[in-house]
Structure 1
C-alpha cells in the first residue's frame, strides 16, 4: 500500500574529520531517542584518512603498531572489524527511526545493501551480496562496507562506498577482517568517476529504497 514518504534531512557535499562526524551522529541519535517524531537524517560525506574499529574488533587485523604509528585510529561503537576511510570514498550515515520503517536489523542491513546495489546498477555494474558477509561486492571484490549502531531503534553509523580513493591505505589492514577477498573501487571499472557524481545517485537510491522525501540542508555548525 502506498503512503506519503517520510521526510529525511539530507546533508550533502561535506568533507569532515571523523570525530566531528561521530559526535554529530551521536547528537542526532540522542535527540531522536528523546524525540522520536523528529525527521530522519542522511549525511553523505568524505573523511580525511582514518582507521576505525568496531566495538568488538580484533587488533590482529591491523598490520601496524597502534601505539607508535602516525595514523589516525579510533575504536567506536559500531559493529564490524577494522576499516579505512579517506577522500574518494563516499560515506553515508543514516539516522533513521526504524519504528517508521521496520524494527528488524537484518532487514535494515539488507536495505542498505540494496541502496548500494542500485547505485552500481546506475553505472551498469552488477553489485552482489555474499551470504553471511555484510556489504556489496563487484566480481568478488568488496566495494562497499556496512557497520551500524542502533539505540531504541534509532540508527547511526552506516556504509562506505569506494568510488575513487587511494587504495594504499587498505594495505595496512585486513579490511573487515576478511583475509581471502580483496577490496576494490569503482574507478577500476569506470575510470574518472568521482564522488561528486555518485552522491546524487546515492541520495536518490536511498530515498527510493527507504521511501523518503529528501530535504536538502546546509551544514550546521559542529563544535
Structure 2
C-alpha cells in the first residue's frame, strides 16, 4: 500500500512551474490530463502549476445546465467544451490569467473544501497587493470585489490529485460573458481588476500569482521546460 509521509520539518514540497503564453483550450485540457496521470502513476513526482491564457472559449462543468447558455449549443460559432470539472458555464479569453494546479492533496489535506478555500486565498492575497479587497460569499465558490465576481474556480480531483483550477479576470474583454449566465449566478455581475486599476500590468499579476501560490501552499516553485504532450 502506498503511504504519503507528512512533509519533513523545514522542507518544502516541490512544484514544477509551467509559465506559458496563450494555449488553445483543448491542447491545455489534454496536457492537464497527462500531468494528472503522470502523478497518479508516480505519486512522489513533483506537483505542477500551469499558468496560461486561452483564446475565447466557453466551458461547462460535468453537470452544468445548458439553460445558462444564451445561444444554441448545437448551432454556434463559439468554441464550447463540456469538461470534468465542477461548476456551471464560464468563459475564458485573453487578459484572464488561468492557473491549473496539479497537486497531490495527500501531501496537503484530503479535503476538497479546504482546497477550494486555499485557491480563493491565493486570489484574495494577490488582489490585496493591489489594494483590492477580495471577498468570499457564503455558499458560493470564487472571489468577488465590490459584488462583482473577479475570479471563478472549478476543479476535478481524482485519487486526490487535482486538475483544472481558477481564472482571474485581470484585463479581459468581458463582453463574452454576456452570452451566458456566468457560473449560473444570475443576480451578480462579472468584473475585472482593470475596472478598478485601469493600467493593471498582467505580467506583474502573473508573477504575483506564482509567488503567492507557493506561499499559500508552502511549496517551492521549480521553473520547468516548455509544455509538451
- 1:22 correspondence with 2:40: no
Matched position secondary structure for 1:22: helix
2:31–2:228 Cα contact (<8 Å) kept: no
CA separation of 1:206 and 1:176: change in aligned 2, threshold 3 A: same
Q: Name the structure 2 match of 1:134.
A: 141
CA-based RMSD of the aligned residues comes to 1.0
- 1:170 correspondence with 2:170: no
Shift of 1:129: 0.2
- Aligned counterpart for 2:115 among listed residues 88, 108, 114: 108
Shift of 1:131: 0.3
Q: Name the structure 2 match of 1:144.
A: 151
Matched position secondary structure for 1:209: helix
Shift of 1:221: 2.7
Deviations 1:145-198 (A, max 9, x none): 000000000000000000000000000000000000000000000002132111
Shift of 1:14: 2.0
Q: Name the structure 1 match of 2:98.
A: 91
- Aligned counterpart for 2:209 among listed residues 198, 202, 215: 202
1:13–1:196 Cα contact (<8 Å) kept: no
Shift of 1:3: 2.9
- 1:51 correspondence with 2:51: no
Q: Name the structure 1 match of 2:77.
A: 70
Shift of 1:109: 0.2
Q: Name the structure 2 match of 1:188.
A: 195
2:20–2:50 Cα contact (<8 Å) kept: no
Deviations 1:79-131 (A, max 9, x none): 00000000000000000000011110000000000000000000011100000
What stretches of structure 1 move > 6 A for 4+ residues in a row?
Answer: none
CA separation of 1:2 and 1:117: change in aligned 2, threshold 3 A: farther
2:61–2:89 Cα contact (<8 Å) kept: yes
